[in-house]
Structure 1
Amino acid sequence: MPDDVTGAPRALAAATAATGYSLAVDIGGTFTDVVLRHADGRATTDKTLTTHRNLLEGFFRAVDLALGKAGVGPEAVTEVTVHATTLVTNAVIERRGPPTALLATKGFRDILSIRNEHRYDMFDPQIEFPDPLVPDSLVYTLDERMLATGAVEKPVDAAEAADLAHRMAADGVKAVGICLLNAYRNGANERAARAAILAAVPSMEVTLSSEVSPQIREYPRASTTVMNAYTQPIVAPYLAALSAELVRRGFPNRPLIMLSNGGVVGTSIAGAFPVRMIESGPAAGALAASYFADVLHLPRLLSFDMGGTTAKACMIDAGKPLVAGEFEVDRRYRFKPGSGFPITIPAVDMIEIGAGGGSIARVDNLGLLKVGPRSAGSEPGPVCYGRGGTEPTVTDSDVVLGLLDADRFLGGDMKLDMAGAAAALGRLGERLGTDAVATARGVFEVVCEQMAGAARAHATDRGIDWRGLPMLAFGGAGPVHACRVAELLECRHLVFPPMASVLSAFGTLVSPVRLDLVRSALSPLATLDWAAVRALVGGMADEGRAALAEAGVDAADATLELGVDCRYRGQQNEVTTELPLSVLDSGDAVALRESFEQAYEALYGIRLPDVPIEVVTWRLAARGPLPVASPSPMPGGTPASPRTHRPVAVEPDVPMVPVYDRGAIAVGQKIEGPVIIEERETTLVVLRGWTASVHPTGAVVAERVA
């Protein structure tokens, strides 16, 4: 039941004493996944094709499937309902947002076009950037000025701001992002501009940079503000409709929404700041990987998530995913930072590429086989889906190779067209001089190498040796390709967790309520005003506790984690380091410097003890308790025999490979590869030279023996 009469969502930590069900739904680019989990560890999972024209249709179709399989109604979901979605990302990439304006300081109207004047490739004279979300014709300027100290040099003229609001409305603008110079130090002028705009045009959606991204550097702050303004008119009504439909159907609690930082919050915070939701689904997967790293006692782990549209790799270190203070959206080139829109919102640090089951295979101008980043998605989907797709994809290749059983996809509920897939790959093969099977084998190898390359780049950029790291594979397509990716990464231990196909949905159930807050306040460490910093961090703490309270977390259960971005004087980029709150309380500059230099040395291998340090940005993470969701232990069982055998053409000699039902394999039973282990929503492929066994948690653990 709700925690109070307002229907506030129950905090995730309450699951420790729960007797009912928790519900999690993750909307991906191709499939919508659902996990219905009882407090005793029993879980019901399912997935359905994502309905892009109306995401809620697929949401509730998946929910109804899970409830029906469990034999319960909405009233049984007395614990949390958690949601992750690609809604924000899709709106940006597909440019589905309403006409959106930017209001900047007079003289700074070209900030979105000039960007930060960096070239992400110094040797390419024709580099491309994504088109700004706000066209030049919808950029307006206001004659005001805030100094870098936070002092108001020239206040906002309310009449001027009201006149601009009427001009925006006449131009069809539905939302505006206000990003005024130095507003990260003092948002008074932005708040005054908002008040004047709303007084003139009450229906206008307004985003302030001083609220969504109060950080130094003009272009990233403007980019973040514009993206929030662009997506807010889409996300806020969606979340309102979701909440209303849950109430209408009889669900007891309002939903919690997954954010990019690996935490969940209530719908009011998520609706006001949709830019925080951009990486919600991938972040949930990383949190699930952290959960299994802890359960399996693996201090360091590579998370590998391959779905229908993209593949993601994330480093799990000391049981936690790495979190970055900035990431990019809509990159023109996947491995080139600077080629997309910078977003200054804390997010789980991962690399994402367009290599999923729906990624389209093609021959480029040089006659080479390429896979992705364009995807067939769920509409029309791969050729084998029989929904009108004509271009061969990774999933089509997996069917032709025998990795997937065309008659048992989704437990037989979704039959696949093997003949259509083979014909499409045959047509592609004609351009390569190969047959359909050889072409499918090439697609399999290319996509696996792409994913391994992305993982190498991600780990190397963070100073981590990727060779031999254990890997956790999930997503609908991840277990199909993980063994080959692991071989390319010299990995000898591979984990296929239970609920692998819907693990990102499960990840939302093991994610704490969390909100990350930042405030830039540039100062030399030697002259740092500790009293001012304590007041600054105190304001963030109050905001964080309020967000946690909205999500059902008691104040006594809230935890605050402090971080700071520092740099050596004269440098352009900062390094983030964590600090105990006691450093702030005591004003210990020596401890702050030592913490920064440890982090700097870990990243660059050097310290500069004679160079003064500058403090740039303070960070505060407010989070609730970690939820307890122990897996239901697996019974010992009787060693299983193969259900059938079928030819698999990943290797040229096309061996007849045994096929097992995952649920039939006993704990501790060892099976030598090559072998295929099938479950309803995905297929585990264990190649030659590997041995698989079932862990008591239900995870299938494969070890490389050759």
Structure 2
Amino acid sequence: MTPTARLAADIGGTFTDLALERPDEHGGLDRWTAKVLTTPAAPEQGVLDGIAQVLAKAGLTPADVAIFIHGTTLATNAVIERKGARTALLTTEGFRDVLALGNESRYDQYDLNITLPQPLVPRRWRLTVPERLDNEGKVLLPLDEAAVRAAIATLRAEGIESLAIGFLHAFVNPVHERRAAEIVRAEWPGLPVSLSSEVSPEMREWERFSTTVANAYVQPLMSGYLHRLRDGLRDAGLHCPLFLMLSGGGLTTLETAARFPIRLVESGPAGGAIFSAHVARQKGWSKVLSFDMGGTTAKVCLIDDYTPQTARTFEVARVGRFRKGSGLPLRIPVIEMVEIGAGGGSIASLDALNRIQVGPESAGADPGPACYGRGGTKPAVTDANLLLGRYDPAAFAGGTLRLHPEPARDAMDNALSPLGLEPEMAALGVVEVVDENMANAARVHAIESGKSYDGRAIIAFGGGGPVHGYRVAEKIGVTRLLVPSGAGVGSAIGFLRAPVGYEVVRSLYQRFSKFDRAAVNALLADMSAEARRTVELGSFGAPLVERRIAYMRYVGQGHEIAVELQVHVLSDEDVAAIRAAYDTAYATFYDRPVPGSDVEILSFAVTAATEVDAVEHAADATDAPAPTPIRHQPVRDTARGEVADWPVYDRSVFASGAEVTGPCIIAETETSTLVGPGWRCRMDGLGYLDLKHVTGV
């Protein structure tokens, strides 16, 4: 029998989420989910344990699985926690300190004691060799091969585990980088080597070198993990294709992911954004905010016209909260979002002024929050929610993890005792602070994107999103909130909605006053072939769609605007149309074009991907009677500080069209949805919880 089930797994800092889907006989989908604690020492073990659980729930065998899709934040965590490989950089003589100098900007001009992000490679491991290309890729100084060999001897003595090679102008001509890599591989077989001309072939040395170094920094860790996971899956009987989620929203093969693991840094959050975009299509909502709160972090992403915002640059490990320019730059395709250390495991403490602060430190999965009873002694957001009455200790994570109120109360009392508050009131402060942190992140994201929340709804998911969603909505002025089915494992479900896709980016400097159409067409054709080769490894003959973009600016400006190329082979008329399209796009951002100014193209991007399945908007359900509460429990409302008995409903018996009025809790296996005072909740025709803020209720 042909396998038809699709399986996805998302490793988070606290929980590993799994989703399994199989077509039913009516043309729909049967779905089973599982949530297990992440196993930090061997992350693949948590995945394998979760797979066994979810297959047992479904009554399926490994042979029934047709495809397995995986996403993880392991690469991100390795960079943030500085737990990657001992990495060296081999670069052009005279450019040893590019990583430290950056672009010489300061994210806070007036902070005399500013803290800047430290490079992943210390200065003693940044070695240079004589070589030089000009800006067109012509050799000015041949590569000194003897110097490369001497550098290898030095790196061996230093115990280096991975090497990044980044030469000046290698994005135009990679000949010196490739020759240096050949020498390294001959002299030191088995050493992982990352080339800037392959990892990030674009101009701007700091971003290119930083991305290449980060790729080298996580490559041994990620390659080892991915191959252990592949072997573990085979031993468990899963011989189906394995795909990895990319930060840009596509899927790729294990081989490509192991070669360019830096493209996985935001793979988990990217799945969540795709999940929200899919739900938005189903609802016919063109403007939403994706709100994903897990055990370690919270992620917010603006989605317009059913498409998440994307970017080509990304910062990781910011040292300044919400401060652009305070992190390590990565030049990769990425779904644009704001991510902060605000999750169920985020630890609460007091600063020097006895103010409550939450995160970014997390209790993780081991030992976890104090209420897990696994040895944790510091209060976390989950402890605070438990003390506020929001969780049933016996039903957390579907009853697989019992919560213990007393350790939570002791941890809260010990850490926040200078406030002179009862643990329950201190817990209220912790939840209000974390909610405000997330609301502030959402405000910053909207401001940086030049957008507002007028007419926008929130799609909340992750283990904590439905718990905190209504309060975050109140803080940013949103009056509608949606909690889809499977919300507790939303990112994993998003993996199952993602296309197989890959983006290739290359630099080729062009001015429209002397546009080399033949060179551009040749470059685009070569990029298209590379993107398609990568995608076809996993598309299984599915039709592909291709998107081509040029990144352009007026001569002398510092930043580019993306302009889509509507044809694949450019004619003279097409070149003129692209030039006019840039003026139009520029006027959209800055009100008017700049007449008489020449335009330059810095780089091109080509994306090949399988087609996204069409989704029809779902009709609303007819009215149905409200369900009967399964119990009542005392809950302290964070907005007013009052304690009242809130009814608790079982989501699994909630009928489509049924409506309840807050305050109440709607419980399910992986999460709980809080319907606050002044809110109403209706189960729609898709089985989603649709919350609306109603004045006067």
Normalising to structure 1: TM-score of the pair? Answer: 0.94
Answer yes or no: is the 8 Å Cα contact 2:345–2:381 preserved in 1.
yes
- Are 2:52 and 1:32 equivalent residues in the alignment? no
Q: Tell me what 2:694 maps to.
A: 705
Provide the secondary structure at the position in 1 that maps to 2:570: helix
Whether the 8 Å contact between 1:304 and 1:478 is mirrored in structure 2 is: yes
Q: Distance in 2 between matches of 1:469 and 1:389?
A: 39
Within 2, Cα distance between the matches of 1:170 and 1:413? 49
- Give the equivalent residue in structure 2 for 1:453: 440
Q: Match for residue 593 of structure 1?
A: 579
Cα deviation code 1:341-362 (max 9, x no counterpart): 1000010000101111111111
Q: Does the Cα contact within 8 Å between 1:285 and 1:503 map onto a contact in 2? A: yes
Distance 1:223-1:334 versus aligned 2 partners, 3 A rule:
same
* Cα distance, 1:567–1:388 mapped onto 2, change above 3 Å: same
Task: Provide closer, same or farther for how the CA distance between residues 453 and 477 of structure 1 changes in structure 2, counting only shifts above 3 A.
Answer: same
Structure 2 residue 216 is the aligned partner of structure 1 residue 229: yes
Contact between 1:67 and 1:74, CA under 8 Å: does it hold in 2?
A: yes
2: distance between equivalents of 1:247 and 1:573? 47
Cα offset, 1:445, TM superposition: 1.3
The secondary structure found in structure 2 opposite 1:80 is strand
The residue identity in structure 1 corresponding to 2:315 is E
Aligned to 1:171: 158
> How far is the alpha carbon of 1:258 from its aligned partner?
0.3
2:56 matches 1:56: no
CA distance 1:85–1:631, change in 2 (3 Å): farther
State whether structure 2 residue 556 is matched by structure 1 residue 570.
yes
**Shift of residue 73, structure 1, vs aligned partner:** 1.2
The answer as to 2:408 corresponding to 1:421 is yes
Q: 2:53 — aligned with what?
A: 65
Moved more, 165-174 or 96-105: 165-174
Q: Distance in 2 between matches of 1:58 and 1:586?
A: 56
CA distance in 2, matches of 1:64, 1:355: 30
Alpha-carbon contact 2:625-2:659 (below 8 Å) kept: no
> Pairwise CA RMSD of aligned residues?
1.9
2:32 matched residue in structure 1? 44
Question: Residue 429 of structure 1: CA displacement?
Answer: 4.1
CA contact (8 A) 2:521 2:569 kept: no
Q: 2:609 aligns with which of 607, 623, 629?
A: 623
Deviation of 1:399 after TM superposition, in Å, equals 0.5
Question: Take 2:340 and 2:518, find their aligned partners in 1: how far apart are those partners?
Answer: 45
Matching of residues 30-179 of structure 1 within 5 Å: 30-40=14-24, 41-77=29-65, 79-179=66-166
Following the alignment from structure 1 to structure 2, what is the Cα–Cα distance between the partners of residues 628 and 123?
51
The Cα of 1:468 is off from its aligned counterpart by 4.1
Residues 490-541 of structure 1, C-alpha deviation per residue, up to 9 Å, x if partnerless? 1111100110010000100000011111111222222121111111111111
Within 1, Cα distance between the matches of 2:3 and 2:489? 23
C-alpha displacement of 1:610? 3.1
Selected match of 2:599 from 598, 607, 613: 613
Look up the equivalent residue of 2:679 and give its one-letter code: W
Q: Does 1:346 align with 2:330?
A: no
Aligned partner (choices 257, 267, 272) of residue 285 of structure 1: 272
Could you tell me how far 1:632 is from its partner in structure 2?
A: 12
1:201 aligns with 2:185: no
Deviates more, 1:37-46 or 1:462-471: 462-471
Instruction: Please say if residues 293 and 342 of structure 2, whose CA atoms lie closer than 8 Å, have aligned partners that are also in contact.
Output: yes
Letter in 2 for 1:310: T
Q: Report the alpha carbon displacement of residue 441 of structure 1 after superposing the two structures with TM.
A: 1.2
- How far apart are 1:638 and its partner, in Å? 6.3
Matches within 5 A, 1:663-702: 663-702=652-691
Size of the aligned set, in residue pairs, is 688
**Partner residue in 1 for 2:366:** 379
Q: How does 1:142-541 map to 2 (within 5 A)?
A: 142-541=129-528
Is contact 1:509-1:627 (8 Å) kept? no
Deviation, 1:124, is 0.5
In the alignment, the residues of structure 1 paired with residue 611 and residue 517 of structure 2 have an alpha-carbon distance, to the nearest angstrom, of 29
In 2, the alpha carbon distance for the partners of 1:186 and 1:267 equals: 28
Is the 8 Å Cα contact of residues 373 and 404 (structure 2) preserved in structure 1?
yes
Change (3 A) 1:468 1:64: same
Cα distance in 2 for partners of 1:487, 1:188 equals 57
Equivalent position SS for 2:643: coil
Helix, strand or coil: the match of 1:522? Answer: strand
Determine the C-alpha separation between the residues in 1 that align with 2:31 and 2:571.
45
Deviations 1:365-391, CA, capped at 9 Å, x for gaps: 122121111111112111111111111
Which one-letter code corresponds to 1:146 in the other structure? L
Shift of 1:121: 0.7
Structure 1 residue 595: Cα displacement: 2.6
Kept in 1, the 8 Å contact 2:466–2:672? The answer is yes
Give the counterpart letter for 1:152 in structure 2. Answer: V
The offset of 1:191, in angstroms, is 0.6
Alignment check: 8 A CA contact 2:662 2:681 kept:
yes
Say which is worse superposed, 283-292 or 66-75, in terms of deviation: 66-75
**Superposed displacement of residue 307, structure 1:** 0.5
| Structure 2 match to 1:5 | none
CA drift at 1:62: 0.8
- In structure 2, give the amino acid aligned to 1:361: A
The answer on 1:644 being equivalent to 2:631 is yes
Summarize deviations over 1:586-645 as a string: whole Å, max 9, x none. Answer: 562332233323333333334323322111111111111225799999998864211011
Q: Distance in 1 between matches of 2:550 and 2:384?
A: 48
Contact 2:340 2:441 in 1 (8 A): yes
Aligned partner of 2:6 in structure 1 is: 22
1:30·1:378 contact (CA, 8 Å) conserved in 2? yes
Using the alignment, how far apart are the partners of 1:580 and 1:553 within structure 2? 26
Between the aligned partners of 1:144 and 1:200, the Cα distance in structure 2 is: 20
Instruction: After superposing the two structures, state which structure 1 stretch, 274-283 or 376-385, moved more.
Output: 376-385
Shift of 1:19: 6.2
Matching residue's letter, 2:147:
E
CA contact (8 A) 2:467 2:674 kept: yes
Structure 1, unmatched stretches of 5+, are 2-17
Distance 1:634 1:246, change over 3 A: farther
Shift of 1:146: 0.8
Residue type of the partner of 1:228?
N
Residue 402 of structure 1 aligns to a residue in which SS? coil
2:588 alignment partner, SS class? helix
Partner of 1:184: helix, strand, or coil?
coil
Distance 1:243 1:360 in 2: 34
Q: TM-score, normalised by structure 2?
A: 0.96
- Greater shift, 642-651 or 431-440, is seen at 431-440
Check conservation: 1:463, 1:603, Cα contact below 8 A.
no
**Gap runs ≥5 in structure 2:** none
**8 Å Cα contact 2:348-2:430 kept in structure 1:** yes
Deviation at 1:568, TM superposition (A): 1.6
Q: Contact between 2:106 and 2:325, CA under 8 Å: does it hold in 1?
A: yes
**Equivalent position amino acid for 2:353 in 1:** L
Q: Which 10-residue stretch deviates more, 695-704 or 166-175?
A: 166-175
Alpha-carbon offset, residue 265 of structure 1: 0.4
Query: In structure 1, what is the Cα distance between the partners aligned to 2:493 and 2:573?
Result: 41
Maintained 8 Å contact 1:30/1:49: yes
Higher mean C-alpha deviation, range 236-245 or range 220-229: 236-245
